[in-house]
Amino acid sequence: FVKKIEAEGIKLDEPVRKNEATGVALTYITDPWGTRIELVQRPPSP
């Protein structure tokens, strides 16, 4: 999901963190009004 966001010109507030135990990836962006938004990508369901 990061490549698509960055292709739109949106900068991440911090590098993506991935929890190896759960497979969840997490990062944050800030919108133009200063609201911090958490982006979470979960692994596909089995």
**15-40 b/e with 16+ CB inside 10 Å = b?**
eeeeeeeeeebebeeeeeeeeeeebe
Return the structure tokens found at 1. Answer: 């999901």
> Which residues does 43 contact at the CB level (< 8 Å), separation at least 6?
22, 23, 24
| Model confidence pLDDT, tens digit, residues 1-42 | 788 988 999 999 999 999 999 999 999 999 999 999 999 999
Does the global pTM surpass 0.85? no
At 20 the pLDDT is: 94
Contact 25, 8 (CB under 8 A): no
